[in-house]
Structure 1
Amino acid sequence: MPEFVNGLPLHVLMIHAVVVFVPLGALGTILIAAWPAARRRVGWLVAGTVAVGTALTPIAAESGELLQRRLPENPLIVAHQQLGEQLIYFVVPQLLAVLGLMVAHTVNQSAQRADGGPSARARVILAVTAVLAVGLSAAAAVHVFRVGEAGSRAVWEGVANLPAR
């Protein structure tokens, strides 16, 4: 894995992608969970957005480890790293829940076409997967914020105290 792209650490590029895709996927998940018409139109696109965020998470973590090796020991960076390593445990369940929601939706759509409507059991499964997807997406978005906030503290702590040029 390259450590730099056009002179910038790869980690900086990857974290910005994660910071965009994970919360965007969470917002999309809320939309498709609450609005069946949106689920029909953009549900799989939302699942793809969540999948991209999930796929980029380990790349961001690995590139962060490479960058950390170049920097002096710093407890703020260690705190950021520890939170960053936990992010995969939030985005994978988010992805599985969104995929579960879309599978339940697809099964309901098929049942509706085949015999006039989904069963009560199928509607309950859809509702449960929607609630799970929203909850897990919210947790992933909050954790992305926590990781990013710790990272920004590691980078910018003390900058306000530096003399201006």
Structure 2
Amino acid sequence: MFDTIQGLPLHPLVVHAVVVLLPLAVAGTLAVALVPRWRRTFGPLVALVTTAGTALVPVATQSGESLVARVGAPAGDHQVLGGQLLWFVLPMALLLWALVVMDRRAVPADAPRAAGTGRRAADDGRPAPRRGVGAMAATTSRETRTAGGAVTVVAALAVVAAFAAGFQVYRVGESGARSVWGGVGTSQAG
């Protein structure tokens, strides 16, 4: 299925998309994880780019298998490293989506409340406690700290996953380039 397109091997074509999208995904994940004010604006876009890059990894892997059947196995570790790539980018994608969703659901401690309803103005559907103004502020602050702490943990995990994914993308690309172009440019005494 993932063999050729108009007579050309599909693998190099798909790999170019992966090589563009995944580094963008890594950079974008680092940006929205480390700069919270960018999450609402750029988070969904970065998550979509990351999803597209992640979805193309199995296509690149399968088209690589088809290419191996036609021309033989590549030199070095390229095939093994490429087979592992999905397990590096998938956690990054999942953590990024979790971060975007959690950030959108977070209600800041200083969010105004709707007058007389006991509900937050953002109206997340949960009633506010009715034990007085001081108790409401303390509870909301505690909820925000807990939610903010979870967002911070997910952001930190996303940073780690992005670095790991970026390093693996580099390893796969470098080994593939060496297997194809390793002998080019070396002079042979004859």
TM-score, normalized by the shorter chain, greater than 0.5: yes
- Note if 1:158 corresponds to 2:158: no
Equivalent runs, 1:61-140 vs 2, <5 Å: 61-76=61-76, 79-109=77-107, 112=111, 113-114=122-123, 119-140=144-165
Judged with a 3 Å threshold, the aligned counterparts in structure 2 of structure 1 residues 73 and 104 are, in CA distance, closer, same or farther, namely closer
Judged with a 3 Å threshold, the aligned counterparts in structure 2 of structure 1 residues 5 and 73 are, in CA distance, closer, same or farther, namely closer
Answer with 27-36 or 52-61: which moved more.
27-36
Cα distance, 1:7 vs structure 2? 3.9
2:59 match: 59
Cα distance, 1:2 vs structure 2? 4.4
**Structure 1 runs not aligned, ≥5 long:** none
Cα distance, 1:39 vs structure 2? 0.8
Q: Residue 14 of structure 2 aligns to which amino acid in structure 1? A: M
2:28 match: 28
Judged with a 3 Å threshold, the aligned counterparts in structure 2 of structure 1 residues 155 and 130 are, in CA distance, closer, same or farther, namely same
Q: In the alignment, is the contact (CA less than 8 A) between 2:95 and 2:154 conserved in 1?
A: yes
For the residue of structure 2 that corresponds to 1:67, the secondary structure is helix
Judged with a 3 Å threshold, the aligned counterparts in structure 2 of structure 1 residues 2 and 162 are, in CA distance, closer, same or farther, namely farther
Cα distance, 1:80 vs structure 2? 0.4
Cα distance, 1:121 vs structure 2? 0.4
Q: Distance in 2 between matches of 1:147 and 1:86?
A: 9
1:143 match: 168
Give me the TM-score of the superposition, normalised by structure 2.
Answer: 0.77
Cα distance, 1:73 vs structure 2? 4.7
Q: Distance in 1 between matches of 2:101 and 2:183?
A: 49
Q: In the alignment, is the contact (CA less than 8 A) between 2:88 and 2:161 conserved in 1?
A: yes
Structure number, greater radius of gyration = 2
Answer with 108-117 or 95-104: which moved more.
108-117
Q: Distance in 2 between matches of 1:84 and 1:143?
A: 9
Q: Deviations over 1:106-137 (max 9, x none)?
A: 12148843477761100100100111111101
Give me the TM-score of the superposition, normalised by structure 1.
Answer: 0.88
Q: In the alignment, is the contact (CA less than 8 A) between 2:4 and 2:10 conserved in 1?
A: yes
RMSD: 2.1
2:119 match: none
The structure where helix makes up a greater share of residues is 1
Cα distance, 1:72 vs structure 2? 3.5
Cα distance, 1:28 vs structure 2? 0.7
Judged with a 3 Å threshold, the aligned counterparts in structure 2 of structure 1 residues 74 and 10 are, in CA distance, closer, same or farther, namely closer
Cα distance, 1:18 vs structure 2? 0.9
